[in-house]
Amino acid sequence: MAEGGRRRDEEEDGKYLLESMAPQMEVFEPTVLLENREQRPTLDMGNFYSTGRDPIFYSHHANVDRVCNIWKSLGGKRRDFTDPDFLNAGFLFYDENAEFVRVKVRDCLDSNKMRFGYQRVDIPWLKSRPKPRKTLKKFANNKQGVANAAEIPSASSVVFPRKLDSTLRVDVTRPKKSRSKKEKGDEEEVLLIKGIELERDKFAKFDVFINDEDDPGSRPDNTEFAGSFVNVPHKHSQGKKNTILRIGINELLEDLDAEDDDSVIVTLVPRYGTDNVTIGGIEIQFAS
């Protein structure tokens, strides 16, 4: 989930996360790992400035647009941003006649207006939900369903910032529990991992789990898996950056049968390049 940013804003405070944390990162990530494994410079899909040199970039983004169209068709709050600054933002391109033209974001949001559509095919994953890794356990105040629960500190008692050089697990208090369907429709419950500090030109990834077992083993197709943070290198932009990660957890809590719990166990698992990543804090908020 991204927070709106303006041109005058700095990147800090989680601005511009839509691009850096979008589903495309799941494709960028193996590309970066492959290039690192071969000890070559991180170029093409492994670096933002050179992504357009990689042929897979275009088919990948076409599919991202397709998935976005499907997402918006599901209704509810799944719709385009309405901020005029976003809608009127412009980009310069050469058209088919080699003429310089300006295209606004508002011109690109409806594929029908651009006179193209997507092939209608079965989408088996559309109505499927992730499955819990193990039998559901009620996570009451004493967290009896979590192994070694007494050893899990509350997020408020952990000293932050904290280097993410090993697995970090904390008990995070929820602002409100047992919310009604209307309340959940009005506001998304959001896990906020703030003060993520790292080098701009280094690849890094960590995974986030909620109410997982003592030794997290969940995969993306398990309910306990909440999401990932991935930093794709900016080789022409060095130095530290400070950002945040927001993850909507309304449906995840429903699937884990944890809506009535006072708190949840949040686990951050380092995957790659996190030795120099620090975490500034973990909390839960509501976002409309």
Residue 106 token pair: 């508002």
Q: Considering only CA atoms, which of 231, 192, 201 is closest in space to residue 20? A: 231
Q: Residues 4-61: pLDDT tens digits?
A: 566 555 555 455 454 444 444 455 545 544 444 444 456 677 676 777 888 888 888 8
Q: Residues 149-169: pLDDT tens digits?
A: 558 999 999 999 999 999 999
pLDDT in the model for residue 284: 97
| Cα distance between residue 59 and residue 63, in whole Å | 6
Query: In Å, how far from its chain's centre is CA 94?
Result: 32
One-letter amino acid of 261: D
pLDDT in the model for residue 171: 96
Residue 1 contacts by C-beta under 8 Å, 6 or more apart in sequence? 17, 188, 190, 246, 247, 248, 287
- Given phi > 0 = left and psi -120 to 50 = alpha, else beta, which region is 127? alpha
Beta-sheet pairing, 162-163 with 278-279: antiparallel
178 CB burial (10 A radius; 0-12, 13-18, 19+)? exposed
pLDDT in the model for residue 177: 94
pLDDT in the model for residue 239: 87
Count how many residues are written for the chain. Answer: 288
> Contacts by 70-76 with C-beta closer than 8 Å and gap 24+?
70/123, 70/126, 76/185
Torsion sign across C-alpha atoms 117, 119, 26, 31: negative
pLDDT beneath 50, residues of the chain: 1, 13, 16, 18-25, 29, 32-40, 138-142, 145-147
| β-pair partners for 269 | 207
- The number of CA neighbours under 13 Å toward the Cβ of 273 is 19
Is 143 in contact with 171 (CB distance < 8 Å)?
Answer: yes
Residue 17 token pair: 């996360």
DSSP state of 49: G
Instruction: From residue 270, give the alpha-carbon distance in Å to each of 130, 167, 214.
Output: 22, 6, 15
- Given phi > 0 = left and psi -120 to 50 = alpha, else beta, which region is 114? alpha
Phi and psi dihedrals of 25, rounded to 5?
Answer: -60, -30
Is 14 in contact with 243 (CB distance < 8 Å)?
Answer: yes
pLDDT in the model for residue 6: 62
